[in-house]
């Protein structure tokens, strides 16, 4: 701890010097105002000055000069008993903290603890400011991510489509959830008059890195979507090959799961490839049964792990009067526990929760059924909030 002290009484200055310069404290006590001013910018952790230094009349001007050049260093003022009005002027001008100067000099014994408290308070304030700036940065990244998610969804003839993305919610202050930048997203776009792409993606981890990973994949998909690939497996393999060469994604073992599908409006055929993503579900609205359209063996390796991995294409004919659900694992892996209390054995919302929610919303319009999925999953957490980002696409063949 480095401390600069400006003091007008030489004998007291010597005592202050002896008291402070122990136990890893480097203190310099000066009784010349110009020397004090010249040293003020030498990287001190705290500055102490008598509010009578070099005199009552000159002290305030000296204080203003010091604080103008050392805004990030706490300045502690020591004032004489009975001079409250004099002290008030310094407080109004930004004096960090102050100590009363008694006649017998015992106040000197409080110097060290006063200085340590001032430094701790300043560090806490810096942390608050830094945390605020980091929140602003994270929020900017989160808004950038949400801007790439389509909101005007295509509604092809014979189909109704709803989709929703929700970032993870971490409760850190009381009951207020804090939305985090995340690594989920969904997308959909036409590749010709008869076919449309529907996909959901999920980058491992949370925060800015996961968000930038998913942005990288989104950019790649949009760049090469006009290229002609024989099937969805070839397209996913090409995306995987390119992501394996991207340092942002696979740094520190990062990866991305992806469900990439093509819906043909003429024959109602859905062709799809999973790179570690959950298997889609189909709901027969007449019988209100919900089943997976494949099994766990139909899911391939997540992206950005193995460059030459060969993916499989699967197909499914969407029956009339049915709904198909494509989702990321934030939906089914919701659990009623704060992250710091998690043991790994908690019961999750799971496929059972998804199926029950879909069955209970069979009579609702597709957009309301989608919202009910989110509401039911969130309710299952008992107020803890989902700890993972969640993207869901629900479409209905009428």
Q: What is the pLDDT of residue 249?
A: 82
Query: Given a cut of 60, is residue 344 above it in pLDDT?
Result: no
Which residue is listed with tokens 């696409």?
393
Q: What is the pLDDT of residue 124?
A: 82
Q: What is the pLDDT of residue 226?
A: 66
Give which of 149, 214, 206, 213 is closest to 179, Cα–Cα.
Answer: 206
Contact 233, 311 (CB under 8 A): yes
* Mean pLDDT within 20-37: 90
Percent of the chain residues topping a pLDDT of 90: 51
Helices (H) and strands (E) in the chain, counts: 11, 18
Dist. CA 228–CA 225, nearest whole Å: 8
Contact 239, 199 (CB under 8 A): no
Contact 251, 243 (CB under 8 A): no
Look at residue 139 and give its three-state secondary structure.
Answer: helix
Mean pLDDT (the chain) is 87
* Cα 281 from chain centroid (whole Å): 30
- Domains, in order of start, for the chain: 2-126 (3.40.50.2300), 148-397 (3.60.40.10)
Q: Which two tokens stand for residue 344?
A: 């790994």
Q: What is the pLDDT of residue 133?
A: 77
Rounded to two decimals, the pTM is 0.68
Dist. CA 192–CA 275, nearest whole Å: 24
pLDDT bucket at 173, cuts 50 / 70 / 90? very low
Q: What is the pLDDT of residue 149?
A: 84
pLDDT bucket at 138, cuts 50 / 70 / 90? low
pLDDT bucket at 150, cuts 50 / 70 / 90? confident
Give me the phi and psi of 24, to 5 degrees please: 65, 25
Query: Given a cut of 60, is residue 341 above it in pLDDT?
Result: no
Instruction: Identify each DSSP E strand in 285-389 by its residue range.
Output: 289-292, 299-300, 314-317, 322-327
Give per-residue pLDDT as tens, 98-117: 888 887 878 888 878 888 88
Percent of the chain residues topping a pLDDT of 70: 89
The larger pLDDT score, comparing residue 352 to residue 166, is at: 352
Give per-residue pLDDT as tens, 68-107: 888 788 899 999 988 999 999 999 999 988 888 887 878 8
The larger pLDDT score, comparing residue 116 to residue 260, is at: 260
């Amino acid at each position: 701890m480095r401390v600069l002290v400006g003091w007008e009484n030489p004998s007291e200055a010597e005592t202050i010097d002896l008291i402070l310069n122990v136990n890893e404290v480097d203190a310099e006590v000066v009784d010349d105002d110009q020397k004090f001013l010249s040293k003020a910018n030498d990287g001190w952790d705290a500055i102490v000055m008598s509010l009578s230094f070099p005199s009552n009349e000159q002290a305030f001007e000296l204080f203003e000069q010091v604080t103008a050049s050392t805004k990030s260093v706490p300045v502690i003022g020591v004032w004489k008993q009975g001079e409250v009005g004099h002290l008030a002027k310094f407080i109004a001008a930004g004096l960090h903290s102050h100590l009363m100067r008694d006649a017998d000099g015992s106040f000197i014994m409080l110097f060290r603890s006063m200085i340590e408290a001032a430094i701790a308070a300043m560090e806490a304030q810096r942390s608050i400011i830094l945390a605020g700036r980091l929140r602003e940065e994270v929020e900017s990244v989160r808004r950038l991510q949400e801007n790439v998610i389509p909101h005007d969804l295509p509604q092809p003839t014979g189909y109704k489509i709803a989709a929703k993305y929700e970032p993870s919610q971490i409760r850190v202050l009381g009951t207020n959830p804090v939305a985090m930048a995340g690594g989920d997203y969904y997308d959909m776009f036409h590749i010709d008059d008869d076919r449309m792409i529907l996909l959901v993606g999920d980058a491992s981890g949370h925060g800015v890195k996961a968000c930038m990973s998913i942005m990288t994949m989104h950019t790649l998909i949009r760049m090469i979507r006009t290229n002609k690939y024989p099937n969805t497996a070839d397209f996913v393999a090409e995306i995987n090959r390119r992501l394996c060469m991207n340092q942002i994604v696979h740094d520190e073992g990062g990866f991305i799961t992806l469900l990439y599908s093509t819906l043909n409006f003429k024959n109602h055929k859905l062709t799809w490839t999973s790179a570690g993503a959950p298997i889609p579900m189909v709901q027969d609205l007449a019988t209100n049964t919900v089943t997976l359209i494949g099994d766990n063996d139909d899911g391939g390796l997540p992206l950005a792990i193995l460059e030459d991995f060969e993916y499989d294409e699967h197909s499914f004919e969407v029956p009339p009067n049915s709904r198909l659900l494509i989702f990321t694992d934030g939906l089914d892996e919701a659990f009623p526990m704060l992250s710091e209390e998690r043991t790994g054995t908690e019961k999750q919302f799971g496929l059972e929760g998804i199926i029950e929610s879909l069955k209970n919303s069979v009579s609702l319009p597709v957009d309301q059924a989608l919202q009910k999925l989110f509401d039911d999953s969130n309710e299952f957490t008992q107020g803890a909030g989902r700890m993972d980002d969640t993207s869901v696409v629900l479409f209905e063949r009428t």
